[in-house]
A and B are shown apart, each in its own frame.
Chain A
Amino acid sequence: MSFKRFALRAGAMGIAVAMLLVTAAFAPAIAGESKEIVYWNIGTESPDREYYQYSVDQFNANTQSGYTVSAVSIQNDTYKEKLIIAMSSGEAPNVYSSWSGGPMIEYIKAGFAQDIDDMVKASPIYPKLMDAAWAQAAYNGRIHAVPIMNISISGVFYNKEMFEKYGIEIPATVSELEAACDKLVENGVIPFALANASKWTGSMYFMSLATRFGGLAPFQAAADGSGSFEDASYVYAGEKIQEWTRKGYFPEGVNSLSEDDGQAKQLMYQEAAAMLLCGSWYAGTFLADSPEFYQKIGWFSFPAVDGSDADTSIQIGTTGDQFLQLNCEGEKLEAAFEFVSYFSNDDSIALLASSNKIPATKNANTFEWDPVSQQILDACMNASATQLWYDQYLPPAVAEVHKDTSQELFGLTMTPEEANAKLQEAMQAYLNQ
């Protein structure tokens, strides 16, 4: 009899423990309606971490709303996946970053980003930020996000000392660029530092070449279905990439080098490579890593394609690096909006500028910039249009194919025709849905 009693007691305890575990697993879901605004960002490294934290601290210290913000920093590479998992399990954060484009539209469609058009237009931050930034935060003509952080456009960083040593002038056309590259190859220097295991890094070349060849129209037409990725611009871009790969313009094993491990910038620091085509955030990266090295760096916008009449003032990139979506209602939404407004106040913007990042504000020109950043800012201000990164603009499923095919181009494992046909097929499949 005593055994039975023991067994029952043990069993009851077992079940109790199990129930506890199960409830513990679901506890965060139950605690949803609190006075806590959960804010997800990718600020795991300086200087971005300090910039995010500044607004969080300011809001928490000054707000009258009764809400507090708790920030969760997640490493960039896994951020998007974690966000999707949180959304599908009903634990989506109240404020979170996206990079606009395709994924932001998915979040909006799924109901995880509020329409804040009226709120924004009535607020003092609306006139502060550049119009182009708000345009990127809009979906169906209504603003759904608040742009924060810096302007990022793609361009070529180069080592001024090396250019001087080999007698190279800043190239104005692609054929001049190729002549410069040939001279560098002859002298045993890698023309372009590129780490293409990350895939989006190689996409920069594809976008730049195609945009300088045909301007904005071919991409817009391809993306809305009226045109095609088999357009001459993309054939040109693919062929140039393969020609450059064959001529040794990129480091050996380019598709195995990882941008996340900093393998491209290492080639620049070792002075094994002379140029790097990437986003303008690199100005901040170079400066943070070594102010001394940054002195050697110059910048130019991607040169014109010979014989093309495409507008060379067009820049590729984003006005405002991140876009904050708000996922809450009523009072909490107002508190969340108050919080995100802190990112655009004067101190916050000054903090951003002090880390050499160009804010997407109309007063960006009033700060003091070093020559490289000033050039980048001028290019932004003079741009007739800004083309958002292809891999952000395209719907995620198509963007993945674009990144794969661009990597295959660098690996010489697909011809430009095959790569473009595959991309077009993916685009068509999306449009047919």
Chain B
Amino acid sequence: MEITRRQTLRVQRQSQTWTAAAAFLAPVLILLGVYIAYPIISSFQISLQKWNGISADRVFVGMANWRQLASDAGFWAAFKNNVTIMILSILVQLPIGLALATFLDFGGRRLNVFKVMWFVPLLMSSVAIGFLFRYALATNGGVVSTISRLFGGRNVDLLGSPTKALYAVIGVICWQFVPFYMVYFMAAYTGMSFDIFEAATIDGATRGQYFWRIALPLLAPSVKSAAILSMVGSLKYFDLIYVMTGGGPGTSTEIMATYMYRYSFKNFNMGYGSTVACGMFILISVIALATMRLINQGGDRA
């Protein structure tokens, strides 16, 4: 009698938990379904059609768009630019972010001024940053040109030069996102017990030794997830480049997202634009999953 009653209670509680979970998750699931899952599925559908984006007339063309994508030099050039942005973003943003976070962590409250100052770029919208740097990097009267002239040099054309524009834009992207990784690593430092620092100091470790031998290995999981974040972010990047160069000059700063935008909304080719979007989705997923796997394997061995 006693036992059955307890079981009933457990079953009852379980069912209650399920109902509550379902009820609380329902709004999120509905929103995710409507705004994330449905568009993705629908993009894949459209990628099999020839459609200009506005007419009721959609023709099923099978894999034709996908075949075109596979051999589209423009798309792969854009992908290569994405990869360049990705590699340089990780190589520049993470070390600088980590260095700033370490500096702030060692300095404590005295350095709050720097904390606030360095955080500012992250508070600005990408579009505003794009406009700002379009002026700052202008050939006539921009910051770089003015400095160059101060030292007797010539005007420097950054955004109008096909060889330099991509790197100029990457510089701005790094300026924008370094604060994010700084805050991210600061949070990771906060999560580390102060006892570890104390113990290391008592054992006679210098600050350098503490950082390289103790703090960095402990921060490794955060560094890994930061790398993945930066990677995915760089592969799907759009707004800043769209505002600053629009993919130009020519196609020298074209990335996958601007390429997709161009086909979908400028060329009246929603079918192929969707194929590009789906191609991006697949490429980003594969690269992110593969990297995650690779990083975690490395972690097991260590």
B86 CB to nearest A CB, Å: 24
- Tell whether, in the assembled complex, residue B19 and residue A7 are in contact, meaning their CB atoms are under 8 Å apart: yes
B245 touches A197 (CB 8 A): yes
Contact present for A15 and B250 (CB under 8 Å)? no
> Which chain A residue lies CB-closest to B263?
A397
Q: Are B138 and A253 in contact (CB under 8 A)?
A: yes
For residue B139, which residues in chain A have a CB less than 8 angstroms away from its CB?
251-253, 256-257
Report how far A411 CA is from B163 CA in the complex, Å. 11
Q: Does A392 contact B (CB under 8 A)?
A: no
Chain A neighbourhood of B20, CB < 8 A = 3, 7, 10-11
A87, A109, A256: which has the most chain B beta carbons within 10 Å? A256
Whether A258 is near chain B, meaning CB under 8 Å from some CB there, is: yes
In A51-87, the 8 Å CB interface with B consists of 80-81, 84-85, 87
B249 near A407: Cβ-Cβ < 8 Å: yes
Contact A411 B160 (CB under 8 A): yes
Cα(A88)–Cα(B46), bound, Å = 12
Q: What's the least CB distance linking B10 to chain A, in Å? A: 14
Asked if B268 and A10 make an inter-chain contact with CB atoms under 8 angstroms apart, the answer reads no
Verify B248–A111 contact, CB threshold 8 A: no
Q: Point out the residues of chain A lying under 8 angstroms from B248, CB to CB.
A: 197, 199, 255, 404, 407
A397 touching B269, Cβ below 8 Å = yes
Question: Inside 8 A of A92's CB, which chain B residues have their CB?
Answer: 54
Closest A residue to B135 by beta carbon equals A261
Interface size in chain B (residues, C-beta < 8 A): 45
Is B97 part of the binding interface, using a Cβ–Cβ cutoff of 8 Å?
Answer: no
Known: A80-B265, A253-B160. A408 touches B23 (CB 8 A): no
Task: Digitize A1-28: 1 where CB-to-B-CB distance is under 8 Å, 0 elsewhere.
Answer: 0011001101110110111011001000
Within 8 A of A (CB), among B150-168: 155, 157-162, 165
User: In the bound complex, what is the Cα–Cα distance between A81 and B23 (angstroms)?
Assistant: 39
A17 to B186, CA, bound (A): 37
Stretch at the interface among B25-33, B100-108, B204-212: B25-33
Return the contact of B157 from the options A7, A85, A253, A395 (Cβ within 8 A): A253
Contacts of B160 in A (CB 8 A): 196-197, 253-257, 411
Once the chains bind, are B250 and A110 in contact (CB under 8 Å)?
no
**Chain B positions within 8 Å of A404 at CB level:** 248, 250-251
Q: Confirm or deny: A236 has a beta carbon within 8 angstroms of a beta carbon on chain B.
A: no
A107 neighbours in B (Cβ, 8 Å): 54
Interface flags, B38-54, vs A, CB<8A=1, else 0: 00000000000000111
Report how far A414 CA is from B26 CA in the complex, Å.
56
Alpha-carbon distance between A386 and B132 when the two chains are bound, in angstroms: 40
* CB <8 Å contact, A252 and B140: yes
B287 within 8 A of partner (CB): no
Q: Encode B128-158 as 1/0 by CB contact (under 8 A) with A.
A: 0000001101111000000000000001011
Interface set, chain B 257-290, CB cutoff 8 A to A: 262, 265-270
Checking A85, A109, A254 against B55 with a beta-carbon cut-off of 8 angstroms, the contacting residue is A109
**Is B22 interfacial (CB 8 A cutoff)?**
yes
- Are A110 and B54 closer than 8 Å at their CB atoms? yes
Which A residue sits closest to B18, measured CB to CB? A7
Q: How far does the alpha carbon of A201 sit from the alpha carbon of B90 in the complex, in Å?
A: 37
Cβ contact of A407, chosen from B22, B157, B250, B270, cutoff 8 A? B250
In the bound complex, CA of A261 to CA of B132 (Å) = 12
Q: Which residue of B lies closest to A251 (CB)?
A: B140
| A11-B22 contact in complex given A404-B251, A408-B249, C-beta closer than 8 Å | yes
Provide the bound-state CA to CA distance between A92 and B55, in Å.
11
Nearest Cβ in chain A — how far from B142, in angstroms? 9
A239 interface hit (Cβ, 8 Å): no
Closest to A199 in B: B248
Contact yes or no, A84 B140, CB < 8 A: no
Known A111-B56, A411-B250; contact A14-B23, beta-carbon cutoff 8 A: yes
10 A–B contacts, CB within 8 A, in A order:
A4-B19, A18-B31, A22-B30, A106-B52, A253-B159, A256-B249, A257-B138, A404-B250, A411-B249, A414-B250
Given A111-B56, A196-B160, 17 additional A-B pairs, CB 8 A: A11-B19, A19-B30, A21-B31, A22-B30, A197-B159, A253-B159, A253-B161, A255-B159, A261-B135, A396-B266, A400-B266, A404-B251, A407-B248, A413-B162, A413-B249, A413-B250, A414-B250
The chain B residues found within 8 Å of chain A, CB to CB, are: 16, 19-20, 22-24, 26-27, 30-31, 34, 52-57, 134-135, 137-140, 155, 157-162, 165, 245-246, 248-252, 262, 265-270
Would you list the 3 A-B pairs with minimal beta carbon distance, nearest first?
A11-B23, A253-B139, A256-B160
